[in-house]
Amino acid sequence: MKSKKFDAVSVMGRNMPEGVASNVQIIFTILVFFCMLMTGCTATTRYCVMIDAINGKQPINKKCCYIFPGFKDLPSDDLQFLEYKGHVKHGLQAKGYSVVEDVNEANIIVFLTYGIGEPKLQMYSYYVPVIGQTGYKSTHTYGSLFSFNNVTLFKAKTTNEPEYGIVGDMTHEVSYTTYDRHIIIDAYDKIALMENQNNRQLWQTKIFSTGRSGDLRSVFPALIAAAIPFISENTGKAIQIDLTEDDESVKVIIDGKDIHDQILVHIGDYYNERYSYHSAIPISDRAILFYQQALEMNPYNTFAYLGLGKIYKYKYLKSWNKNDLRKSKEYFRKAETLAR
């Protein structure tokens, strides 16, 4: 049995004059657009994250960290801090660092600061057209002749076909609340810090995001996941990273999946490795994005290096410096398959 496709516009326009039906179709399309605008096209949460990272450019021979809270009076056994510390630990491990529970074993002290701002009321307006009669499309007169006792009578009737269109609009206002969320990760040389040698800072990574969720716990993993490739790096400026809540990198942060079975990717040019990417995350889309950016900056000297294995013990896979995005995507996909 052949199924019949439901056409809302056809149903709404049934038994309506042609002009009215077309106007209804226009209004229906506009209403659908605004419904999509208000409710979102999908149920998946998307995050827009700003990353601002800087480092001191000094070499770090041993990447062994101990994480302290960055708040003066917050104890290290605070339950909320311990949860966030776990997420940051997975992020650091995905970047090639180790995180220890004994400060004596560390050579880097990391301070973790986080917070969420006061709610901000946001408003926007949109207009919905109002349909009404705008005039008459045509006039028809018809009638009948009657003869009675040598008298002829004409009985006439005139009908006007109305024309419909947009006669105005209604203004609708929508309000919603947003929150500013932030995470700051500061890394210091432990010896210099403990001996008060000007608190030698190694690097700092700032993570910012604005969204409707006022629950920092729910968005924290996504914020750290977006920052993984840039932890301890130098971005040169604040950059924007977009990802969804079901991104593979978010799973890495939540459960530490495959932290010790990583893919290493270096993308950049021979003079600038700002696009280095060192992570346990399946690399495909984000690595390709970095490679495209590197090609735009230096199309002739761009290179990529792929490795696979344990932290600091990588099996060489492939390196190349050809301006061939199609071939590069192929290499990235193969590396991702091997990592699984």
* 3-state SS track over 97-137: CEECCCHHHCCEEEEEEEEECCCEEEEEEEEEEEEEEEEEE
Measured distance CA(87)–CA(221) in Å, rounded: 6
Amino acid at the residue 2: K
Measured distance CA(274)–CA(256) in Å, rounded: 25
Measured distance CA(36)–CA(236) in Å, rounded: 37
Buried b (16+ CB within 10 A) or exposed e, 251-276: bbbbebebbeebbbbbbbbeeebbbb
Tokens of 150: 């040598």
Beta bridge partners, 136, equal 162
* Cβ–Cβ < 8 Å for 243, 46: yes
Walk along the chain (340 residues) and give the pLDDT tens digit of each residue.
443 333 333 333 344 444 444 554 555 555 555 555 544 445 678 898 999 999 987 777 788 999 999 998 999 999 999 999 999 999 998 887 889 999 999 999 999 999 999 999 988 888 888 888 888 888 877 777 777 677 777 777 888 888 888 888 888 888 889 999 999 999 999 988 887 766 788 999 999 999 999 999 999 999 998 898 889 888 888 988 888 888 777 887 888 765 544 445 544 444 444 444 444 444 445 555 555 555 555 555 555 555 444 433 344 444 444 555 566 566 555 555 544 4
Residues 6+ apart with CB under 8 A from 211: 47, 48, 178, 179, 181, 219
Instruction: Determine the pLDDT at residue 3.
Output: 39
N- to C-terminal Cα separation, the chain: 45
Tokens of 10: 């056809």
Continuous H helices in the chain = 8-13, 18-39, 79-94, 190-194, 216-227, 248-255, 284-297, 325-339
Instruction: Determine the pLDDT at residue 94.
Output: 80
Q: Is-above-0.75 flag for pTM?
A: no
Nearest to 225 by CA among 38, 59, 47: 47
The total number of residues shown for the chain amounts to 340
Instruction: Determine the pLDDT at residue 17.
Output: 46
According to DSSP, the β-strands at 201-211 and 151-189 are: antiparallel
Instruction: Determine the pLDDT at residue 81.
Output: 96
Instruction: Determine the pLDDT at residue 172.
Output: 84
